[in-house]
Structure 1
Amino acid sequence: MYSESDLDAAVAAGALSPQAADALRNHVSARRTTPAVDEEHFRLLTGFNDIFVAIAAVILLTAVSWIGDSMRMGGDWTGPSPFSGLFVAGAAWGLAEFFTLKRRMALPSIVLLLAFVGGVFVAVASLVGLTIGESAFQDNERLAALVVAGAAAVAAGSAWLHWRRFRVPITVAAGATAVVGVALGTIAFGVGDSESLNDILLGFALLLGVGVFLFAMWWDSSDPKRETRRSDVAFWLHLLAAPLIVHPVFSLLGLTDGSASVMEAVVVLLVYVGLGLTALAIDRRALLVSALAYVLWALSDVLERFGAVELSFALTAFVIGSALLLLSAFWHTARRAVVTPLPAGLRSKLPVLDRAVAA
């Protein structure tokens, strides 16, 4: 079995022409009776060796972190040692030189990227905490927020360096996550101790989520046929944008306080329908998956109010699961119904309806 990354590698090496690769994709999609563009491919596994290497890398990085954490520099700091994050980041970069740059292994590259950026964040935050002293953070949430923002800024810079070197698609999303951390940490520092801090952070998280979503659409619009690495970058950005949008929306609507009324359940369904239409238009399922937990919780809570205590969650899961499976089976038909009435200018920025026809 050949993966999308195998086809891309064959085209890059000159063993297969781009036209032949497109013809093969279209032939396979025709046999499956669904357009290839609606399969939403992204590179995660090129074989079981990816899983094997990823597990080995996690074990090695855990050991390296443990060794680094045993190297203490004194003071009253009880958090992770700066050497822990530093050693993990260094080991992850070194491993990426072989498994990412030479072997082009998808899953290990993702693991190593996350380990590198996370290691840098931990190293910087721990070093600052060690320098200032843990006692300075007691009853001082503003200082903690400032440290998080500073460490996230350095992590964002490290993600940019990693992208320049290795071009792993998830790197852009990792950098965007760090930027979100910088923004929220800075806002928390500026607002300080306030009863409305949580709502303010949720509001800004929503705005940042919309910004990440628009950034993802910029990457998506540059590859409407989803044939290049830019589509993979957009996938991870959409995966980041989805919870940043969904969680603040449902939290600000008051749907996370432990009880849901019938009206709130109706609001949840309407919001979910809106997210579903958006997901169909942009051909990304991340929005539906991110909001799924809220829908299941709200509807099961309403069913409990009507007496179906034992089967509330089962009935809700049955209805939602059936609806999602039905949507998946007729995804392309539903997407055509949503996209076709849109203005031509907007349609040109969305993924094409049928890559086989467009090719």
Structure 2
Amino acid sequence: MTDLRSILNEAARQGLISPEAGGRLLPFLIERGVAVAEARPAAAAEGKAWSDTETPRFVRGFHDVLITIGVIVAIIGLWGLASLYAVPAAIIVLSEILVRRQRLALPAVSLTIALFCWTSLLMSHFFPPWTPSSSFGPAVTHFVTGFPILLGAYYVGYRVPLSLALSIMSGLAVVLTLLLRFVQWRSGNPAFFVDHPAMLAAVGLVCALGLFAMALYFDLGDRLRRTTRSDIAFWLHLGAAPALLYSTVSLLSFGEGGNIFFVGNMSSRAPVVVATVAALMLIGLVIDRRAFVTSGLLSLGVAIFGVFRQGSATVDTYIYTTLIVVGAIVLIIGTGWMPLRRLVLRALPAAISGRLPPG
């Protein structure tokens, strides 16, 4: 019965049937003795479920792509011609048709991103966060607060995984601004974080770890990644990895300049960036999330670029050498992901590896 219910839930999630129809079909099929036959051993079924677990459920055909293009073009046109308050009405109408009724995944993602952009414009209109000041004032907190409220309401109405992930990330951003304001208030120095950039990186690292813990919460709750919890975790990991990278490198570099993408100081930061990216890659292998690898590639490329830049080679030489090195790393990790992960899982205690996706 459990397998039959799971199949009907999966069919509803993919838009083949409505959730209401799935609920009515279950007792109907059970009364008639319908059962799910075991076509192969459970271990083989588990392996099949895991073999491509990080495929985001965005697109089910070019129909989704075509609809998404139409959504993007229409909203941009409306944004340019109509008032600020006409855009959310269009988002709601399109969400009712494309998300609630037709359950199209990629248009749901585009509508969520449109709502995020509209919320950013709305909040910046009432609470401009960027003021010529070195302190963190209440305007920054007020600006960020609107995101978890509106995106959370959108998730309640339409159950789009990205909207919940963005709501969680923006909620942690609110916590970050409150922590920064509290530390600044306790110090009595409005320019505290300008004088102590390492403390700013430390507070950012705490919130980045909180975001990573939230992503793991959703991930570990769906070990075989058969439900939308896996989609939510995917988006959270996509945000947590660069947050961890930026805050860790800034902290280990003692806040030098506060920008890890600035090539001028990358020669001194390169070992820290490479070590941090390597650690993120190892974490990605353990939890079977390629997002950790992907998010660090840009920083890794900039770090390698900074190292080669200090030599006497020409511009073309160190640019192309950087591309070759990064490309080789991507190919090695991409083609060897499965055997590398098996090696890592064997080195872990059974109590930990048993809670992770199978390898």
Task: Tell me the TM-score range normalised by the shorter chain.
Answer: 0.7 to 0.9
Q: Distance in 2 between matches of 1:181 and 1:37?
A: 34
Distance 2:131 2:294 in 1: 38
The answer as to whether partners of 1:7 and 1:21 remain within 8 angstroms in 2 is no
Matched, 1:171 2:171: no
2:291 equivalent to 1:286:
yes
SS in 2 for 1:205: helix
Change (3 A) 1:176 1:301: same
- Distance in 1 of aligned mates of 2:305 and 2:174: 37
Q: What SS is found at the alignment partner of 1:44?
A: coil
* Structure 1 SS opposite 2:313: coil
Q: How does 1:1-359 map to 2 (within 5 A)?
A: 9=14, 13=22, 36-69=50-83, 84=84, 86-128=85-127, 139=132, 145-190=137-182, 191=184, 192-194=190-192, 195-196=194-195, 199-252=198-251, 253=253, 254=256, 255-257=260-262, 258-261=264-267, 264-309=269-314, 310-353=316-359
Unaligned runs of at least 5 residues, structure 1: 70-83, 354-359
8 A Cα contact 1:281 1:335, kept in partner: yes
Q: Which structure exhibits the higher relative contact order, with contacts defined as CA atoms closer than 8 Å and separated by 6 or more residues?
A: 1
Distance in 1, Cα, partners of 2:261 & 2:124: 31
SS in 1 for 2:347: coil
User: How many residue pairs get matched?
Assistant: 323
In structure 2, how many angstroms separate the alpha carbons of the residues matched to 1:202 and 1:236? Answer: 23
Asked if the contact 2:50–2:225 (Cα under 8 Å) also holds between the matched residues in 1, the reply is no
SS in 2 for 1:241: helix
What letter is aligned with 2:323? A
Measured in 1, the distance between the counterparts of 2:159 and 2:176 equals 27
Aligned AA for 1:64?
L
Contact 1:187–1:201, Cα closer than 8 Å, also in 2 = no
Given the superposition, is the C-alpha separation of residues 164 and 8 from structure 1 closer, same or farther in structure 2, using an over 3 Å criterion?
closer
Q: d(CA) in 2 for partners of 1:21 and 1:123?
A: 53
Letter in 1 for 2:328: S
Cα distance in 2 for partners of 1:185, 1:165 equals 28
Query: What's the TM-score, normalizing by structure 1?
Result: 0.78
Whether the 8 Å contact between 2:50 and 2:224 is mirrored in structure 1 is no
**TM-aligned CA distance change 1:37 to 1:228, over 3 Å:** farther
Tell me how far apart the structure 2 counterparts of residues 338 and 18 of structure 1 sit (CA, whole Å). Answer: 38
Higher deviation after alignment, 59-68 or 309-318: 59-68
Write out per-residue CA displacement over residues 6-26 of structure 1, whole angstroms, 9 at most, x where no aligned residue.
Answer: 695359746999967997xx9
Measure the CA separation in 2 of the matches of 1:288 and 1:18.
41
Deviations 1:53-99 (A, max 9, x none): 22222222223333444xxxxxxxxxxxxxx1x33223212211110
Equivalent residue number for residue 7 of structure 2:
none
Pick closer, same or farther for the CA change 1:6–1:321 going to 2, 3 Å.
farther
Amino acid at match of 1:127: F
Structure 2 Cα separation of the partners of residues 312 and 104 of structure 1: 48
Match of 2:3 in 1: none
CA deviation after TM superposition for structure 1 residue 245, in Å = 0.7
- In structure 2, stretches of 5+ residues that fail to align are 1-9, 185-189
> Compared with structure 1, are the counterparts of its residues 37 and 187 closer, same or farther at alpha carbon in structure 2 (3 Å cutoff)?
same
The aligned amino acid for 1:240 is G
- The letter of the residue matching 2:142 is G
CA contact (8 A) 2:176 2:207 kept: no
Secondary structure of 2:96's partner? helix
Find the aligned partners of 1:68 and 1:179 in 2 and give their Cα distance.
30
Give the secondary-structure state (helix, strand or coil) at the position aligned to 2:236: helix
